[in-house]
Structure 1
Amino acid sequence: MATADLLLHPVRMRILQALFDADPLTTGQLRERIPDIAPATMYRQIAVLAEAGVLEVAEERRVRGTTERSYRVRKEEAVVDPAARAAMTLAEHRRAYTTFAASLMGDFDRYLAHENADPHADGVVYRQAAVWLSDEEFAAMVEEIERAVVSRMGNAREGRIRRVVSLVVVPDEPGTEADTEPGG
C-alpha cells in the first residue's frame, strides 16, 4: 500500500484516475487523455508510480527501436495504508484533502469544457447529507458503498458511460454524539 504523499500528488492522482477501471494504457494514450500534462512530467510521474508498485507493466512491445509499455493500476497498492493514514499529522491531512478536492474541481472543469457537456442529461450528482451512525454502523455503510461501486467496476461495454465516483466523509465535529436525553 502507498502513502498519501505518493497517491495524492496532483499529477499522479490524474494518471491513476485515467487508468482506474480502464484497459492498460501506454504513456502516449495517457497523454491523449490528459494532454495538459507535459510529456517529461508524465514520464517522470509514471516512473514514480511504477517504482512504488502502484502501476505495473501490462505489456511491452518494440516500436521503432524503443520499448513501448502499457500500464495498469495495481488496485490493492493504490490505497493509502491505514497505518500511514493514522500517522499523518493534521497538516498532512489538510494538504492531502486539498489535493483531492482540487482534483475533483479539475475533473469537473474538464467535463464542463466539453462542448456537449450537459450536467442534467449526463446525470451529474453532487450531494451532501448528514447521518447519525455508531462506529459500527458507519463502517457497515462505508463497506456497503464500496461494495456497490466495486461491483460495477469493469462493466465497460457499448451503451455505457464511464463515470467517476468520489467519496468524502467528514465528521461535523470530532466525537459528537446525539443528545438522547428527553428535552435535549
Structure 2
Amino acid sequence: MASSEILLHPVRLRIVQTFLGDRALTTSQLAAELDDVPAGSLYRHVALLADAGILRVAAERRVRGSVERTYTVAHAAASIAPAELAAMTPEQHSQAFLAFSAGLIADFDRYLASGTPDLVRDGVGYNINAMWLTDTEFLEFARDLTMVFQPRLANGPGKGRKRRIAANVILPAPDKSKAT
C-alpha cells in the first residue's frame, strides 16, 4: 500500500497528528485523546501504521498479562516521498488535499466544542495572504519559514508550554495568461 493511501485516511491522519510534537503515547492514551474513534477501529489503524513503519514502538511493559506498547511517530515515514507525490494524479492530489482540509476543519470544530473557546486568548488564527515573489524570492521565503519553525519543533513538553498545531498551505494563484 502506498504511503499516501495509508496516511490520507481520516482516522490514520488524526492518529499521526496526535503524535506530532515528539509525543510518546500508549494506545490507551491515544484512545483517550481520540475518544470519538471506536476502540477496535483505533487498534486496527495503529497496527497498520506500525506495520508500515509510520509508528514505532518506543517501549513495552507488561500490564495484567498483556504487553502495553508506547509508540512514537517515525517522521521520515510519516510523509509522502517526493517521487510518490510526483506520480500522483490530479484526482489523487485533490483527495489528499480534501483529507488534509477535512482534518483541519475537524480539529477546529473540536477546539470550538472544547468549552469556552477564546481565539485571542488561545492564540488561534487563520488568514490568507498574497505575495508577489520571484522563484528565488519564494525559495528564500520557504527557507525563512523553515528557519522560524525548525528550532521550535525541537521543544518538548514543559511548564507553561501548550501543544499547538501549525498548518500551512502555499498555492500559486491561477495564471490567467496560460488559460487562453
- Using the TM superposition, give the Cα deviation of residue 139 of structure 1 relative to its aligned residue in structure 2, in angstroms: 2.7
Q: What secondary structure sits across from 1:72 in the alignment?
A: strand
How far the C-alpha of 1:174 sits from its partner, in A, is 5.1
The CA deviation at 1:59 is 0.3
Deviation of the 1:169 alpha carbon = 1.0
Alignment of 1:134-145 (within 5 A): 134-145=134-145
Tell me whether 136-145 or 34-43 shows the greater mean CA deviation.
Answer: 136-145
Structure 2 partner of 1:8 = 8
135-144 or 10-19: bigger deviation: 135-144
Write the distance in 2 (CA, Å) between the matches of 1:109 and 1:160.
Answer: 22
Q: Aligned runs of 1:153-168 on 2, under 5 Å?
A: 153-155=153-155, 156-168=157-169
Letter in 1 for 2:171: V
- Count of aligned pairs: 176
- For residues 26 and 150 of structure 1, the distance between their equivalents in structure 2, rounded to whole angstroms, comes to 26
Give the unaligned 5+ runs of structure 1.
Answer: 178-184
CA RMSD in angstroms comes to 1.8
Shift of 1:47: 1.1
Q: What SS does the corresponding residue of 1:80 show, helix, strand or coil?
A: coil
State the Cα deviation string for residues 80-120 of structure 1 (Å, max 9, x = none). Answer: 10000011100000000001000000000001111132112
Map of 1:66 onto structure 2: 66
Structure 1 SS opposite 2:59: strand
After TM superposition, give the deviation of residue 29 of structure 1 in Å. 0.1
Deviation of residue 175 (structure 1)? 8.9
| 1:146 Cα deviation from its structure 2 partner | 2.7
Cα contact 2:22–2:73 (8 A) shared by 1: no
Corresponding residue number in structure 2 for 1:33:
33
Q: Secondary structure at the match of 1:59?
A: strand
**Change in CA separation of 1:86 and 1:175 when aligned onto 2, cut-off 3 Å:** farther
Q: Helix, strand or coil: the match of 1:151?
A: helix
* Equivalent residue letter for 1:114: S
Q: Match of 1:76, SS?
A: coil
Q: With structure 1 as the length reference, what TM-score do the two structures score? A: 0.89
Letter in 1 for 2:71: Y
Does the alignment pair 1:171 with 2:137?
Answer: no
Secondary structure in 2 aligned to 1:100? helix
Corresponding residue number in structure 2 for 1:126: 126
Identify the structure with the greater helix proportion.
2
TM-score by length of 2: 0.91
Using the aligned pairs only, state the percent identity.
42
| Greater Cα offset, 165-174 or 145-154 | 145-154
Indicate the residue corresponding to 1:17 in structure 2: 17
Give the secondary structure class of the aligned counterpart of 1:46: helix
